[in-house]
Every structure is written in C-alpha cells, then in structure tokens.
C-alpha cells in the first residue's frame, strides 16, 4: 500500500515544472504523443471505424432506393383475369404497401421517420455517452439497430415499417457519433484533420458500393438484409478491438483506467509509457489537492443547456448547430433528388456518391493550407452557389443539371466533413458527445425538412434549390465568426471553451479510497489462508444441502396420474374381466383427462363407452395412482379445476423469498450478517417441518411462504460473509465454485428423489441436515469484518482481523500502520476532526447510529442506473433459471434423467463462467451468457416435436447460459453494491428476482394458448437483459466498494 502511495506521488519534477502552466488539454495531447500519436493502436482503431463507416453508408442510404417509384397498372372495376386474350400476358407487381396514387404521399414518410429517429436518438443518447463512456453506448446502439432492422424487414404493414424505421434511425444515430468521437479522441492533434476527411471518404465508398449492390439486388428486403448483416460481425469485433476513449477516462478522473488505457496504447505502439504515466500521475496529484471540488465535479451531470449558459458558449454552439442544419439539408436534398433526375438512376447515384472521394481529398488540402474556418466557409458558399445556378440551366440538357448537382454535392460533402471536425474541436470533452449529439439532432431537422422542401417544386421548380443555396451561403458567412482551431489541443473543460485564448487549468481532485486500505488489511491477514478455506468449506457444504432442499419444489408439485369417477359409478358393477384401474382409464376421454364418459348398463354390468357416449366433467372424485410416486398434487387433489393451485405453490414460496430477501437484506446491514443468518435458518427449519405435517392445502401454502421467507436470508448471508472475508483475487473463482457446488446438490437431489418417491420423506431427508449446520455456524461462523468497519465498530473489527491473521499464521503487527491509516480515512469520510479521545468516542457513536439503507441507492442518478440495471437482470436471470428447471420434468422422456441433465450442466457452466470471467472481464461474459440462453430458448421453439433429444439439448444449453449468467450476476452485484448497503442491495436484488421466479411457472402456463410463447418470452427478456449489462461499469480486478461515494465515482 505504501508503495502504491509513493508511486502516485513519484512524478518527475522536470515534467511538473514544464507543464505547470499548461491546460489539461495540452497535457492530454502530450500524453498521447508520448504514447505514439498515431501508431499501430490508432491504425487498428482507424481500420475499425472506416469499416464501420462503409457498412453504415451501405445500410443508411438504402432509404434512397426503397422509396423509389415503381411502375404500376390499375385494375378496372369489372376486371376478370380469365377474360384477357390468350396472346397478351398479365404483369404482376407484388407491391408490399401499395404506395401510389392516393397513397403516394406515404412514400416520403419513411425517410423523414428515419431522420426523426436519428434526431431523437442524438438528443437522448449523446448525454449518456458523456456520462457512461463511448464504448458502452456504441455497443448498445449497434445491437438495438440490428434488432430494429430485423423487425422492420418483417413488418406486416406500413405503419409498423415507419415505426421501426424511426427506431432504427434512433439507434443508428449513436453508432456513428460515438465511433467518430473515439477515433478523434485517440489520436494527437496532427492527425485529427486528415482522419476526419478519410472517415467521411470511407462513407463515400459505402455509397459507391451501395449503387452496385442496389443494382444487383432489386428486391428491397434482400437489399436491406445484405447491407445490415455484415454489421453483426463488426459488433463482435468491437468487443475485442474498439477501445474506450482515454480522454474521456481522464476527464472523468478515472486515472487508474486511463493509465491502463495509455499503457496499452504505448505497448501496442512500442513506445515507452513512463513519460505518459508521469503526466497522468501529475494530473492525479493535482486533482488530489482539492477533493471537495473533485467530488462535486464527478457528481455533476452536464446537458446541452450548459452550452447556452454563457454568451461565448451560446454563440459558438448555436452557430455550429445552424451549420449542421444547413449542411444536412444540402447533403440529403441533393442525394435524395439524384434518383428522381432524368437518366439512369443507378448511374446518377453512383456519380453523386463518387464525388465524395475527391471532396475528401479537396477538404484535406484546403484544411491543411488554409486553416479550418476559411475552407469551411468556402465550401458551404460553393455548394450554395451551385444550387442556385442550376436553376438557370436549359431544361432540355441532361448533363448540365447533373454536373451542377454533383458539384453541389462536392461542396456539401466537404463542408459536412469539416463541420464534424470543427464541432469535435470546439465542444469540450465534458460535453463533446452531448454537443455532437445536439448538432446531429439539428442536422436531422435539416434532413427532415429536405424532402419537404423538394416538394415545393409544385409551386415553382426553382424554389427548392434556391432555398438550399441561400441557406448554404448564409451559414458559410456565419462560420467566419467561430474561433480558428487549427493545431489546437482538444478542449477538456467549459473554462477552456469560455476563454479559448487564455485557457486556465482547472484542477479536480480524487480522494484516497477506504476500499483500497481495507483490501490491503485483508491481504496482510492472508487473503485466502486456512481461515478462509474453512469458511469456504462450510459455505460449500451448506450450498449442497440448500440445493437439495430448495429444488424439491420441482418434484413435490409434479403431476400424478389419476382417473375420474363418473357420477353414477358403482365399483360392484364393473365387469369381472377388467380391473378397476383399467376400467377407469378406458372411461376417461382421450382428448381431455378432466372429462369422463357417463356409464350405461347392459345385463347388470357397465359396458365400455364408445366415442359418441355422453361426457361429463371430472367433479365426482378422482383416484390417484401413487404406486410409483406421490406429491402434494395427490395429497391435496390439485388437478382439473384445481390445477392452478399446483403452480401457485411455487409462486407463493417465491413471494416469501421475495419479502424475506428485502427484510433480511436490510436487517443484515443493520444488525450484522451472522445474526441475520441464524435468525433466518431457525425460521426456515421450524416452517419446513411444520409444512410437511400440514393438514390442508392452505396451511401448506402458508408454511411454504414462511419457509421461503426464512430461506431467503441464509444463502445470501453466507455468500456475503465469504466474499467479504477474502481479498479481491479470490472473489471471482470462489463465486463460481460456490454456485457450481449448487449443481452438485441438484444432481444429488435427482438420485434422492428417485430413491424417495413419497414427497414427505423427500422433504424430511432434505431439511433435517440443516440442524447440525446451524449448530456448527453458531460455534464457528464469523461476523463480516468489512461490515464491522462500515459500522465504525473498530475494536470488534480489529479483533476479527487479528483472529484471521492468527488463523492464517500471519504477523498481525504488520497491520498497525494500515490500521491507523484506516481509522484516519474513516474519520475524515464522516467529516470529523479527531482532537481528543472524548470527541472521537462521541463522533464514533454518532457514526454507528447513522445507517445507510436501500433508499440511499435512489438518491443519485449513477446509483439508480446501476441498481435498477442489476435488479432487472436478477428478474430475468431468475425467470430463465427456474423456468427451464421447472419445465424439465414436464418434457418428454424420463423426468429424473431430464432433471439430472439440467442439473449436471451447471458444473460445466461454472467452469466456463470462471474461464470467461477470468479472460474477458465481468460485463462482456455476462452479456454473452444471457444472450446465449435467450437465443437457445427461442430456437427451441423451432425444434421438431417428434425429436426428443433436440429440444432437450437446447433446453440444457439454455440452462448452461442461464446458470453461468446467474452465477455472474451474484458476483457483479457484490462488487457494485458498497459494504454499507451491500446486503440491502443484494436483498432487493434477490427479492425482485423472485418476481421472475414467481412469473416463471405462470408464463409456462401460457403454453395452453400458444406453445411457443413461454420460451419466446424467456428468450427475448434474456437478450434484452444481456445487452443492458453492457451499461454497467467493469469491476474485474477492482476492490470491493466500501461507501456510497465509491459507487458514485465508478
């Protein structure tokens, strides 16, 4: 720990003196240069962005071709195809939406709808990219885009098509903005300008390719598929190669992550990173000089309104936004009009697209020699003049209008590329994506207005191009009012934007984290020594028995074969050549097990009914066949009209777990983990034994509810104690080990249920082992030392850590300095200056009385976003896990074998989860497993019903993904909820997960309406939850959070 603190302050004095009057922007530029301003790392990033832009152009501009007019013919009122002469053929056009004649105006709605989506998307998503990072927003936007495109192509009507076009535009708006921002923020200033024009040149290549693709693929749906599917591969590549913006990390004062990002950059570029790291540590050291300002900064959320708060900002911002509006109007007006001009539409579009390549080269040359303002002014005026002049071209000439249109597109493209670069330079990092997003929104207003202005030709053919030209010229002159940014550093703060010629450095501070000190204490006690190993053995033993007991619900609610008694039944009248069971089976209707044939007599005996015999409901008693096994279904007659009560049992139990999780979570943060565990285990045992001896269904359900309430606090408490007693290196493997052992309990349950077919014996065998476990716990189970520290119970915490150190044969004296540091930081964190012993005691007691609750998780936006995201994913994971598990014994084949396979797959799920979490972080594998489980659920709907093994295999794969993700969400929650509210947060998570568990059997019941519906719901929610995980912060190799401030600063 001391070494870490020394490293933080070990900054080269020459470096400090050299940059002491520099702005944050200049220091950041120097860091980038020391890491190799444009080396292999940036080239890989550039290759990715250029590939994306080509594919983006291919998919984005398909709107030009799918709205194109198609030749059609009308049917007369008295038309009959059979009356057509045999020497004439009938040409049939399969027009999906019939957008001609009185519906022709609808043709122009699709493009504005898409641009409207882009507008809304840019406004709503850009703030999130500045808040949560560029990479997360790109991934979310790209996946959302692909889903919308897939749904759009299967739209049954035009209204749905337009709606999906809107949503597709919304998603697409963040993809380009964010990738462009990442590229610009990863390179030094010398490379920004050429890369800007190269990027927009790549977009032109995509347009050129689109002309050829559209020529070859004339079906609009096939064209859309061909242009969007390559982006699926690109998303996968992004997970591996697309970096988070290091500038954004620095700006958010995430120095450790920024340091790793720049080290990776330097390593890839084969540069020495020490100079860059020294500069980063200089920024960090300066930030630590003012911790109050830093905390205020980190909690600050900026919006586009902040760009209007001061005259200088407002002038620059409004000028840029108007420029974006005009550029977009010119660009899309010319592009959309190209296929409506005379001549070959594919050739027209090709020429309009090809011109973007020389426009990029022209832009690079002009920007290199003449700065950034003057070329932008020239190009906009040039484009505007060409639009106006085209009105005076003779109408009989085809080439002159096309040439002028192409020249107009050249000016518009070069200026559009330039305004991107100018905006990125003028908006500071704290609101760069917000500024660009708002700019993009104004651009979409221009693109929305553009096709409407084209419609003004009905009043005067010269009006549209004249409007475009005047606005282009006017905006060009306004550009001259902006500051020149050639060879300037990217702005970091609003202060730099307000005073571009006298940039002053604004320092922000970080504070030393309590989490780091606590982790260091644990390491000195022996991060995972004999003490933790004994604790792990106890928790693993408990988990095995917990799985044995908890999942008995799968077997105790199992359907039992039964037969119905008819209303006029008399056993003595059964023919002597047939047994009672055989007779009852034969009089049960084949199409409905809850109906029975009414019996008729012949010669003093019943005779077997025929298919047209009278039927009656099964309401006169039933005989259950309990020879093979018995369950609560046979005990309480839960069939036919009482069938719903069978599924209610599990739901009621999960309601108990839901309430118990919340109560126990809050209770454990208040009175401690150990006391809450003992209380929960005692409640569970009393209720479990009482439940077995229930005299009726109502009593059984009430006891099951209370049992679930008690059981909620047992596993959660033990898991929390274990995770809080080990150092960070062991959290992840222990998480998967504990959850993998749960699968061992499940597998044992399959054999136990096979051997004990009576449901009461099965329940006794699975709950009684908890009694010796409780006795052992009362003797040996420790209280969490982290919880003791969070409650400022320093003496008890010290004793607990000393106990761990002795058990692990570590010298507890080595902790003295760390312990002193811990006490100092803890006292400062509650703003108490310790002047004497009495003051300290009073302040410490006051601190102990102050208790954080789950309500504190809703007090700041960052906490709310993290918490609600986690809680939603707990719901989805629980629904997937228990839905698949409960469904296993209702599938075809041997129910015990099915359950064994469903259970056994959790062991490889644990191993796979461990490997993925070890190599790829915590978020991405969690996303993958949830999406994988969801896809398997959906695909299983298409498996042939006659095949037994294929549906079972898909279900097992779904359980594999569901198990691995459920294991992972436990770990992620422990890492993201701080100690002061960890069990409250996990308690609520466990509670809301029971909503998913409660809904799981009810959703299964929807199969009576549509057989594919339950698994489709599971699958869709799993995929959605997986993608939302990407919005959470990565916690691999991070310390456990201790305070709510730690959570705010993620």
Residues, the chain:
1050
Are residues 613 and 704 located together in one domain of the fold?
no
Residue 339 in any domain: the answer is yes
Q: How many Cα atoms within 13 Å fall on the side-chain side of residue 219?
A: 7
- Residue 539: which domain range? 517-557+641-804+852-1048
782 close to 761: Cβ distance less than 8 angstroms: no
Which pLDDT tens digit goes with each residue over 67-125? 444 444 455 555 555 555 554 433 332 344 454 455 554 555 666 667 667 667 666 65
Q: How far apart are CA 689 and CA 707, in angstroms?
A: 9
Q: How far apart are CA 667 and CA 937, in angstroms?
A: 37
Are residues 662 and 681 located together in one domain of the fold?
yes
244 close to 133: Cβ distance less than 8 angstroms: yes
Residue 21 in any domain: the answer is yes
Report the candidate in 511, 319, 432, 364 with the shortest Cα–Cα distance to residue 25. Answer: 432
Are residues 527 and 661 located together in one domain of the fold?
yes
Give the tokens for residue 882.
């228990």
Report the candidate in 908, 962, 910 with the shortest Cα–Cα distance to residue 935. Answer: 962
| Beta strand pairing call for 622-624 and 615-617 | unpaired
How many helices (DSSP H) and strands (DSSP E) are in the chain? 46, 6
Q: How far apart are CA 461 and CA 447, in angstroms?
A: 20
Query: Of 471, 498, 525, which marks where a domain is finished?
Result: 498
Are residues 620 and 661 located together in one domain of the fold?
no
Give burial (CB, 10 Å; 0-12/13-18/19+) of 341: middle
Residue 822 in any domain: the answer is no
- CB atoms under 10 Å from CB of 83, counted, come to 7
Q: How far apart are CA 961 and CA 922, in angstroms?
A: 15
Q: How far apart are CA 702 and CA 707, in angstroms?
A: 9
Are residues 104 and 169 located together in one domain of the fold?
yes
Residue 89 in any domain: the answer is no
Q: If residue 602 lies in a helix (H) or strand (E), which one and from where to where?
A: strand 600-602
Q: Is 89 left (phi over 0), alpha (psi -120 to 50) or beta?
A: beta
HEC secondary structure over 250-307: HHCCCHHHHHHHHHHHHHHCCCCCHHHHHHHHHHHHHHCCCHHHHHHHHHCCCCHHHH
Give the tokens for residue 416.
């559009």
Q: DSSP letter at 571?
A: G
Q: How far apart are CA 589 and CA 612, in angstroms?
A: 11
pTM of the predicted model as reported, rounded to 2 decimal places: 0.44
634 close to 624: Cβ distance less than 8 angstroms: yes
pLDDT for the residue 24 = 64
Give the tokens for residue 590.
């084949």
Query: Of 466, 498, 530, which marks where a domain is finished?
Result: 498
Are residues 344 and 453 located together in one domain of the fold?
yes
pLDDT for the residue 126 = 57
Are residues 129 and 259 located together in one domain of the fold?
yes
Q: How far apart are CA 830 and CA 820, in angstroms?
A: 16
Return the beta strands (E) in 471-550 as ranges: none
- Cα 396 off chain centre by: 57
| Beta strand pairing call for 595-597 and 605-607 | unpaired
Q: Hunting for tokens 């902006």 — which residue is that?
A: 482
263 contacts: CB under 8 Å, gap ≥ 6: 273, 276, 277
pLDDT for the residue 657 = 76
Are residues 336 and 205 located together in one domain of the fold?
yes
Q: How far apart are CA 693 and CA 696, in angstroms?
A: 9
Q: Tell me the pLDDT of the chain averaged across its residues.
A: 73
Are residues 572 and 550 located together in one domain of the fold?
no
Residue 816 in any domain: the answer is no
pLDDT for the residue 682 = 92
Residue 503 in any domain: the answer is no
Are residues 758 and 860 located together in one domain of the fold?
yes
Assign residue 225 the CATH number of its domain.
Answer: 1.20.1250.20
Are residues 880 and 975 located together in one domain of the fold?
yes
- Cα 582 off chain centre by: 56
Are residues 529 and 645 located together in one domain of the fold?
yes
Q: DSSP letter at 640?
A: G
Residue 900 in any domain: the answer is yes
- CB atoms under 10 Å from CB of 348, counted, come to 20
Q: How many Cα atoms within 13 Å fall on the side-chain side of residue 765?
A: 18
What is the three-class DSSP state of 136?
A: helix
792 contacts: CB under 8 Å, gap ≥ 6: 826, 844, 847, 848
Q: In degrees rounded to 5, what are phi and psi of residue 238? A: -60, -40
Residue 813 in any domain: the answer is no
Q: How many domains does the chain have?
A: 3
388 contacts: CB under 8 Å, gap ≥ 6: 465, 466, 469, 470
Query: Of 625, 650, 674, which marks where a domain is finished?
Result: 625
Instruction: Give every residue of the chain whose pLDDT is below 50, as ranges.
Output: 1-22, 67-73, 87-97, 99-100, 105, 293-299, 339, 501-513, 825, 828-850
Q: How far apart are CA 531 and CA 888, in angstroms?
A: 39
């Amino acid at each position: 720990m001391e070494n870490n603190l020394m490293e933080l302050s070990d900054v080269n004095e020459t470096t400090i003196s050299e940059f002491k009057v520099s702005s944050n922007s200049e220091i950041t530029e120097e860091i980038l240069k020391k890491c190799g301003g444009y080396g292999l790392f940036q080239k890989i990033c550039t290759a990715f962005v250029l590939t994306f832009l080509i594919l983006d152009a291919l998919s984005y501009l398909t709107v030009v071709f799918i709205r194109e007019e198609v030749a059609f013919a009308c049917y007369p009122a008295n038309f009959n195809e059979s009356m057509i002469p045999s020497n004439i053929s009938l040409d049939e056009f399969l027009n999906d939406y019939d957008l001609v004649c009185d519906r022709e105006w609808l043709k122009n709605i699709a493009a504005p709808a898409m641009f409207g989506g882009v507008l809304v998307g840019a406004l709503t998503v850009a703030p999130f990219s500045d808040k949560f990072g560029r990479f997360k927003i790109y991934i979310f936007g790209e996946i959302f885009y692909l889903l919308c495109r897939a749904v759009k192509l299967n739209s049954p009507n035009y209204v749905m098509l337009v709606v999906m076009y809107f949503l597709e535009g919304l998603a697409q708006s963040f993809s380009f903005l964010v990738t462009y921002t990442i590229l610009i923020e990863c390179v030094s200033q010398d490379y920004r300008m050429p890369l800007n024009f190269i990027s927009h040149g790549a977009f032109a290549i995509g347009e050129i390719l689109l002309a050829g693709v559209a020529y070859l693929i004339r079906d609009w749906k096939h064209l859309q598929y061909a242009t969007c599917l390559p982006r699926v591969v690109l998303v996968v590549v992004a997970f591996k190669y697309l970096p988070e913006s290091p500038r954004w990390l620095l700006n958010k004062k995430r120095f450790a992550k920024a340091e790793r990002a720049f080290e990776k950059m330097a390593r890839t570029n084969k540069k020495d990173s020490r100079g860059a790291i020294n500069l980063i540590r200089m920024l960090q050291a300066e930030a630590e000089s003012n911790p109050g300002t830093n905390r205020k900064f980190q909690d600050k959320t900026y919006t586009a309104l902040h760009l209007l708060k001061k005259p200088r900002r407002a002038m620059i911002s409004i000028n840029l936004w108007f420029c974006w509006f005009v550029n977009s109007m010119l660009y899309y007006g010319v592009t959309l009009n190209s296929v409506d001009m005379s001549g070959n539409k594919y050739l027209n579009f090709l020429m309009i697209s090809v011109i973007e390549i020389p426009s990029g080269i022209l832009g690079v040359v002009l920007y290199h020699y003449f700065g950034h303002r003057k070329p932008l002014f020239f190009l906009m005026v040039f484009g505007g003049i060409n639009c106006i002049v085209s009105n005076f071209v003779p109408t009989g000439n085809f080439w002159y209008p096309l040439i002028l249109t192409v020249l107009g597109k050249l000016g518009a493209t070069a200026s559009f590329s330039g305004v991107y670069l100018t905006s990125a330079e003028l908006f500071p990092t704290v609101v760069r994506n917000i500024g660009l997003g708002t700019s993009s929104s104004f651009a979409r207003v221009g693109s929305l207005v553009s096709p409407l202005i084209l419609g003004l030709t009905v009043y005067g053919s010269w009006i549209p191009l004249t409007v475009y030209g005047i606005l282009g010229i006017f905006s060009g002159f306004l550009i001259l009012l902006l500051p020149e940014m050639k060879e300037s550093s990217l702005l970091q703060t609003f202060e730099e934007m307000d005073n571009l010629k006298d940039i002053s450095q604004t320092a922000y501070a970080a504070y030393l984290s309590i989490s780091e000190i606590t982790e260091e204490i644990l390491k000195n006690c022996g991060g995972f020594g004999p003490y933790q190993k004994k604790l792990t053995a106890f928790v693993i033993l408990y988990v095995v028995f917990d799985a044995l007991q908890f999942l008995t619900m799968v077997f105790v609610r199992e359907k039992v074969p039964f037969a119905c008694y008819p209303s006029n039944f008399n056993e003595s009248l059964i023919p002597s050549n047939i047994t009672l069971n055989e007779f009852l089976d034969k009089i049960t209707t084949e199409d409905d097990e809850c109906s029975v044939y009414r019996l008729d007599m012949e010669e003093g005996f019943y005779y077997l009914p025929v298919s047209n015999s009278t039927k009656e409901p099964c309401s006169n008693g039933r005989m259950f066949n309990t020879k093979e096994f018995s369950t609560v279904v046979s005990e309480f007659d839960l069939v036919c009209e009482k069938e719903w009560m069978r599924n209610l049992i599990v739901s009621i139990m999960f309601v108990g777990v839901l309430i118990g999780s919340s109560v126990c979570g809050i209770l454990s943060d208040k009175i401690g983990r150990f006391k809450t565990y003992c209380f929960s285990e005692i409640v569970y045992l009393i209720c479990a034994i009482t439940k077995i001896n229930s005299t009726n269904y109502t009593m059984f359900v009430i006891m099951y509810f209370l049992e679930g309430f008690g059981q909620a606090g047992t596993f959660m408490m033990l898991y929390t104690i274990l995770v809080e007693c080990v150092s960070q290196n062991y959290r992840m493997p222990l998480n998967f080990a504990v959850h993998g052992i749960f699968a061992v309990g499940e597998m044992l349950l399959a054999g136990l249920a096979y051997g004990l077919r009576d449901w009461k014996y099965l329940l006794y065998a699975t709950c009684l082992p908890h009694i010796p476990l409780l006795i052992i716990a009362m003797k040996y189970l420790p209280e969490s030392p982290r919880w003791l520290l969070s409650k400022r119970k320093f003496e008890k915490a010290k004793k607990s850590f000393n106990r761990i150190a002795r058990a692990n044969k570590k010298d507890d004296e080595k902790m003295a300095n760390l312990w002193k540091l811990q006490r100092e930081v803890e006292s400062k964190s509650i703003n108490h200056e310790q002047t004497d012993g009495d003051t300290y005691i009073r302040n410490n007691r006051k601190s102990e009385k102050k208790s954080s609750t789950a309500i504190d998780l809703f007090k700041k936006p960052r906490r709310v976003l993290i918490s609600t995201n986690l809680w939603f994913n707990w719901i989805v994971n629980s629904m997937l896990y228990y839905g698949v598990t409960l469904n296993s014994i209702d599938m075809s084949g041997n129910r015990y074998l099915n359950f064994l396979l469903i259970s056994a797959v959790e062991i490889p799920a644990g191993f796979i989860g461990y490997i993925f979490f070890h190599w790829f972080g915590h978020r991405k594998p969690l996303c993958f497993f949830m999406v994988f489980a969801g896809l398997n659920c959906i695909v299983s709907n298409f498996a042939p019903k006659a095949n037994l093994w294929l549906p079972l295999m898909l279900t097992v794969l779904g359980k594999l993904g569901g198990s691995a993700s459920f294991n992972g969400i436990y770990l992620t929650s422990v890492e993201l909820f701080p100690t002061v509210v960890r069990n409250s947060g996990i308690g609520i998570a466990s509670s809301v997960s029971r909503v998913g568990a409660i809904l799981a059997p009810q959703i299964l019941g929807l199969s009576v309406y549509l057989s594919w519906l339950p698994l489709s719901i599971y699958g869709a929610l799993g995929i959605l939850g997986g993608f939302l995980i990407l919005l959470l912060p990565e916690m691999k190799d991070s310390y456990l959070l201790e305070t709510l401030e730690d959570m705010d600063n993620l």
